[in-house]
Amino acid sequence: AGQDIQAQGQHSSSSLADSPPVLLGEISSLSLDKKELSSQLQYQIGQARKQLTEQEASAEESERRHEAAMEERNRALEDMRLQLENMERQLKASKAFVEEQMTEREQEREEHQK
């Protein structure tokens, strides 16, 4: 069995020595395949980076729009709060005026009845 392996090893060595053009062709073919795969990989990496950049830009734009909407909502809420406070003051003043008028009318009625 050992002699068979040696014989195969010698046969392989002699085959390699006998066929350099075949090996060179295979090496050349493998080199071209490697370059092509490398080129494809670089292209895919470039596309992935481009897509990532676009997604990041889209996410940033969405965040800016969301923040702007939140600021607008907060301004609207503050405006409504101020309007409500103003209306409450007006209502309080109106109630006080009506109470005062009612008291005056009541006094006038009492004086008129005397």
Q: Is the pLDDT higher at 25 or at 94?
A: 94
pTM over 0.85: no
Position 91 scores a pLDDT of 98
**Arithmetic mean of pLDDT, 49-76:** 98
Position 1 scores a pLDDT of 58
Cβ(29)–Cβ(36) under 8 Å? no
**Arithmetic mean of pLDDT, 25-36:** 94
Flag whether pLDDT at 6 surpasses 60: no
